């Protein structure tokens, strides 16, 4: 199952490198602590590493040669890096993840890494360390990194909950166990308010019903080879719902002239006359220009 999972992850998403780095760090930790590990674990980590690197070189060889280190930031144009790869702020991230899950997760790592070495906890700690390092270096999108951390903390904090409840059951506080559990549930719910708001903001950025209807209109009333101009955030939804090509989208990795396309899109939306936009429209064979409340809020009313 491990080999099948590694192959599937390596084929479907670049985040397989997070798993590879975590496995390597895990083996380093258990070796330094002189903990026993099975030969199959070493072989599995080596297989995951070499297979992921090999597959990446096959799929992205030309991209790596053409774009170099910019691949680390998904070839996102420089002016958008601050938007796509937000600066990691420790206190804001703790608030978004929830204070209690973070506190219990840190306690679990401290106890089972430094006091009572536990191999399974080492693996989760390795994953958390790699993700935090990538977030700190702005090589992983904040929303993706926080999602991964939330999953890891949910597992780690459950271990801390279990230990805490077992300890309380042996004390005089055992008579108040239902009340204690109720207070914990209330505390977790209260500290989950900010993560819920963060999640709702992400959902709010999704296409509205009116926008989806416009995309479907494009599909039913335009030629299959038509090209639509839109802001990058609308590119992938347009491609999905209308099955029409766009000048830009948020997947910059395989686009050689991503920065030029972004600048051309901005020039067109900011132009005050069609003659100003004509060279860029001709260069990218644009047939339709998408205008939405979000675009008008960013660029104002388009010129004639």
Domain assignment present for 242? yes
Give the chain's mean pLDDT: 82
Q: Is 75 left (phi over 0), alpha (psi -120 to 50) or beta?
A: left
Domain assignment present for 115? no
Domain assignment present for 232? yes
The DSSP secondary-structure symbol of 116 reads S
3-state secondary structure of 124: helix
Domain assignment present for 270? yes
Tell me the CATH number at 214. Answer: 3.40.50.12610
Question: pLDDT for 247-302, tens place per residue?
Answer: 999 888 778 888 899 999 999 998 888 888 899 999 999 999 998 888 888 887 66
As beta bridge partners, residue 228 has 246, 288
What whole-number distance in Å separates Cα of residue 244 and Cα of residue 227? 6
Share of the chain above pLDDT 70, in %: 89
Domain extent at residue 281: 209-299
What whole-number distance in Å separates Cα of residue 66 and Cα of residue 95? 40
Predicted confidence (pLDDT) at residue 198 exceeds the cutoff of 70 = no
Q: Is this structure's pTM higher than 0.85?
A: no
Domain assignment present for 285? yes
Half-sphere exposure of 129 (CA within 13 A, CB side): 17
What whole-number distance in Å separates Cα of residue 157 and Cα of residue 226? 51
Q: How many domains does the chain have?
A: 1
Domain assignment present for 104? no
Domain assignment present for 264? yes
Laid out side by side, the sheet with 288-289 consists of: 245-246, 227-229, 288-289
Domain assignment present for 230? yes
Question: pLDDT for 107-125, tens place per residue?
Answer: 999 988 888 888 888 889 9
Question: pLDDT for 26-39, tens place per residue?
Answer: 888 888 888 777 78
pLDDT, greater one: 60 or 91: 91
């Amino acid at each position: 199952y491990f080999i099948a999972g590694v192959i599937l992850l390596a084929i479907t998403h670049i985040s397989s490198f997070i798993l590879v780095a975590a496995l390597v760090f895990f083996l380093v930790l258990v070796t330094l602590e002189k903990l026993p590990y099975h030969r199959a674990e070493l072989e599995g980590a080596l297989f995951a590493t070499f297979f992921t690197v090999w597959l990446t070189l096959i799929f992205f060889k030309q991209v790596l040669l053409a774009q170099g280190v910019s691949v680390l930031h998904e070839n996102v144009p420089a002016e958008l890096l601050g938007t796509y790869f937000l600066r990691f702020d420790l206190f804001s991230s703790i608030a978004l993840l929830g204070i209690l899950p973070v506190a219990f997760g840190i306690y679990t790592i401290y106890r089972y890494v430094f006091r009572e070495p536990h191999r399974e906890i080492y693996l989760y700690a390795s994953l958390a360390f790699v993700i935090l390092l990538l977030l700190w270096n702005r090589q992983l999108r904040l929303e993706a990194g926080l999602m991964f951390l939330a999953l890891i903390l949910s597992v780690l904090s459950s271990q801390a909950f279990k230990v805490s409840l077992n300890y309380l059951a042996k004390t005089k506080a055992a008579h108040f166990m239902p009340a204690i559990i109720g207070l914990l549930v209330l505390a977790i719910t209260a500290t989950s308010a900010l993560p819920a708001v963060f999640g709702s903001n992400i959902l709010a950025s999704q296409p509205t019903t009116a926008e989806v209807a416009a995309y479907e209109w494009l599909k039913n009333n335009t030629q299959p080879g038509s090209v639509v101009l839109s802001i990058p955030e609308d590119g992938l939804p347009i491609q999905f719902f209308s099955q029409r090509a766009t000048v830009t989208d948020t997947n910059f990795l395989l686009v050689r002239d991503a920065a030029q396309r972004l600048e051309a899109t901005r020039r067109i939306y900011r132009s005050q006359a069609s003659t100003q936009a004509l060279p860029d429209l001709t260069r990218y064979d644009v047939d339709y220009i998408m205008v939405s409340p979000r675009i008008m809020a960013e660029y104002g009313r388009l010129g004639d």
